[in-house]
Chains A and B, each alone.
Chain A
Amino acid sequence: MRSRTVVLSILFAALAIVIALVSLSVGTTKLPLADVIEVLLGGGRRGTRLVVLELRLPRVATGLLVGIAFAVSGALLQTLSRNPLASPDIVGVNSGASAGAVAVIVLAGSGGGNISGVAAKVGIPLAAVLGGLVATAVVGALSIQRGVVHAGKVVLIGVGIAAAANSLVAWLLVIGDVNDAGRAAAWLAGSLNARAWSDAVPVLIAVVLLLPVAMMFNRDLSALVLGDDVASSLGVRVARIRLALLVIAAVLAALATAGAGPIAFVALVAPQVAQRLTRMERPPLLTTAMLGALFVVLADLLARNGLQWAQVGPYELPVGVVTAACGAPYLLHLIGRQQKGR
């Protein structure tokens, strides 16, 4: 790994931790940063411990983890399809997961917007994971050509499956009660509101298991950028590698969506920004992961407190609104700079 990549990874990780600490200290009860750190080290008063460990830490941890998961998923998909637009948002994973979750919210909904018990705790995340995986399995199976997952077809077929899933979601929103539809819309915007440890743990397991596995493919990823023919002449088993990467990307994105909804733009932007900043030929995985985590916790901090700070009112926005509002202009800026450089 080049030193620029390492330095940037460490920088983003450090910034993510700082923002996470700030996020733990602000809110309706403001806590001094020292108290937050004391609690994290195992000390502190009971009340402070409750606020930090039970209310705020699950949310912040979920944010960090889904940031990593979405970003790495996007990096893998963009590399294996050689298309900067190929993020899980676009190739059907998030849409499939959304269709699953919204189906549970609308169909199991009482009409009051509140889904209680098993359906909410287990049903929504499970349906999201299943929906995401089914969508990916369909995309993967249909993209196989002579035993190889065809790079161009993953994206094209993914768009098709995503469109089908999105129209299902729109239909579910129409047939549902307005309160259930509202809850579904909040989920669809990507939100970290009221996350518990049960939301964070599945994403944690996915990240801990799959990030190292993805890192093991680093050499193959670099070869895939050069094209299938060059890659296979370098000894890369293109067919297997691409299938493996597709599965890893799908599991990461589906679990992240189950944890926090389809947070927009993280998977699309983080890899692109990391790639440009490190000046590599493809998105570097570790830098992308750290940037994704930073992006989501920072966005959530703003989503939670931004409207209060701006004296607009006591509203919280879903984190996905902020990731898009911040991510889109930055991407536009990068595109503009790239075009000027030509």
Chain B
Amino acid sequence: MSSAVPSAPPTARPAVRRTSQLLVLAAVLVLAFTASLAFGSRWLGPGALWHALTANNGSDPDVIVRSLRFPRTVVAALIGLCLGIAGTLMQGHTRNALAEPGIFGVSSGAAFAVVLGLQVGLVESVSSTVWVALIGALVATFAVQQLASRGTGATPVGLALTGAAVAALLGAFTSAIVLLDADTLDSYRFWAVGSVAGRGLDVAGQVLPFAVVGLVLAAVNARDLDMLALGDDVAAGLGLSVRRARLVGLGAIGLLTAAGVAACGPIGFLGLLSGHVARRMFGARNTWLIPAAGVIGATALVLADLVGRLVGGAGEVQAGVVLGVVGAPLFVLVVRRRAVAL
């Protein structure tokens, strides 16, 4: 993973190339966003879209765009951004190409909190799920970090193993609750599949503060992560506070994943997918990798939601399912092409 860092000293040309690559990615995101507004059970042309966005007079197309498609597309883009960056940060910090919110215990923490909330009657609607999921995700992240850093501090393998252990434990408690209560199972299964359907701007607003703080921490952490990639000892020798850099990274991972899981349920694959696609395009430099992964994640979730709406017919296929099924071949392609050094 770190091999590309010393071999490519920064010159003007790669920076220009990377900037243009990033601009292309951003353009693709804009296209996906527009497509998500235009396509659905009913196709809306450019004129109708423009009318809906600029002048709302309550016509059917205006309502469809403004109150249905626009909010969920915004949620998809925001959450995709968060989860793409969270996964990439995790891969960097754990030095494990497998790292993903699902493996790190964060999604499981949120899922357990939601099921517990449903069981005790604390949670009834999607909007009240947000806070509960957020708390669960943050507590799980904190617990994983604390458990992994007993002794000499959190090593990459220690973090990954601890995350797997906590995920399995919480998963077991979740299924125990779900099995004892059919009503909880009925609500939980719709949340657990991972979807942006029916998520409004209020949901986006609720998780936005967490997302923003997470993104700031991620930006701060990107440069430090490049140093950490050289090894903890080398990084410390270069004057980096390894402990603080790890804490900032974990804070970012926790906040971003919590925002994502709280808003849309445990959407898998996005972190893995974005991290590896971005790594293939941009190499190992985190200052490029992290923003790129965010844009890729946002595009992927917007497109997954759109595809789910189009192929579903009467019902919809949830974005989490689409990402799992469509993302897998793409992911395999990336893994196969890349000269893997795990």
Contact = CB atoms under 8 A, between A and B. Distances in A.
Contacts of A156: 97-98, 335, 340, 342
24 contacts: A90-B98, A145-B336, A160-B332, A164-B328, A168-B325, A170-B192, A170-B321, A171-B193, A174-B189, A175-B315, A181-B185, A189-B175, A321-B172, A321-B175, A327-B165, A328-B172, A331-B165, A332-B147, A332-B166, A335-B162, A335-B165, A336-B147, A339-B151, A342-B151
Interface string A3-24: 0000000000000000000000
Nearest to B176: A321
B interface SS class: helix
B335 A160 contact: yes
Nearest to B97: A156
The residue in A167, A327, A335 that gathers the most chain B C-beta atoms within 10 A of its C-beta is A167
Contacts of A90: 98, 103, 164
Given A152-B342, A160-B331, A161-B328, A167 B179 contact: no
A342 B152 contact: yes
The residue in B103, B178, B190 that gathers the most chain A C-beta atoms within 10 A of its C-beta is B178
Interface in A132-181: 142, 145, 150-153, 155-157, 159-161, 163-168, 170-171, 173-175, 178-179, 181
Interface in A65-87: 83-85
Interface residues of B, number: 59
A168 B98 CA distance: 20
Contacts of B327: 160, 163-164
B264 to A, nearest CB: 13
Contacts of A188: 175
The residue in B98, B155, B172, B193 that gathers the most chain A C-beta atoms within 10 A of its C-beta is B172
Contacts of B283: none
A339 B155 contact: yes
The residue in B162, B179, B269 that gathers the most chain A C-beta atoms within 10 A of its C-beta is B179
B268 interface: yes
Interface string B153-175: 10101101110111011011101
Given A174-B190, A181-B189, A325 B172 contact: yes
Contacts of A85: 96, 98, 103, 160-161, 164
Interface of A: 83-85, 90, 142, 145, 150-153, 155-157, 159-161, 163-168, 170-171, 173-175, 178-179, 181-182, 185-186, 188-189, 264-265, 268, 315, 317-318, 320-325, 327-329, 331-332, 335-336, 338-342
Given A174-B193, A331-B161, A159 B179 contact: no
Contact of A163 (B147, B157, B158, B328): B328
Interface of B: 96-98, 100, 102-103, 147-148, 150-153, 155, 157-158, 160-162, 164-166, 168-169, 171-173, 175-176, 178-180, 182, 185-186, 189-190, 192-194, 268-269, 272, 315, 317-318, 320-321, 323-325, 327-328, 331-332, 335-336, 340-342
A318 B178 CA distance: 12
Contact of A318 (B97, B98, B102, B175): B175
A322 B175 CA distance: 11
A324 B321 contact: no
B328 A339 contact: no
Nearest to A334: B161
The residue in A160, A175, A338, A341 that gathers the most chain B C-beta atoms within 10 A of its C-beta is A160
B97 to A, nearest CB: 6
A171 B102 CA distance: 17
B340 A150 contact: yes
Contacts of A185: 175, 178-179, 185, 189
A187 to B, nearest CB: 10
Nearest to B276: A156
A56 to B, nearest CB: 22
Contacts of A327: 165, 168
Contacts of A84: 157, 161
A151 B341 CA distance: 10
A335 B102 CA distance: 19
Contacts of A318: 175-176, 179
B340 A178 contact: no
Given A329-B165, A331-B164, 18 more contacts: A90-B98, A152-B340, A156-B97, A166-B324, A167-B269, A168-B325, A170-B193, A170-B318, A170-B324, A171-B317, A175-B315, A182-B182, A315-B180, A321-B173, A321-B176, A328-B166, A335-B161, A339-B153
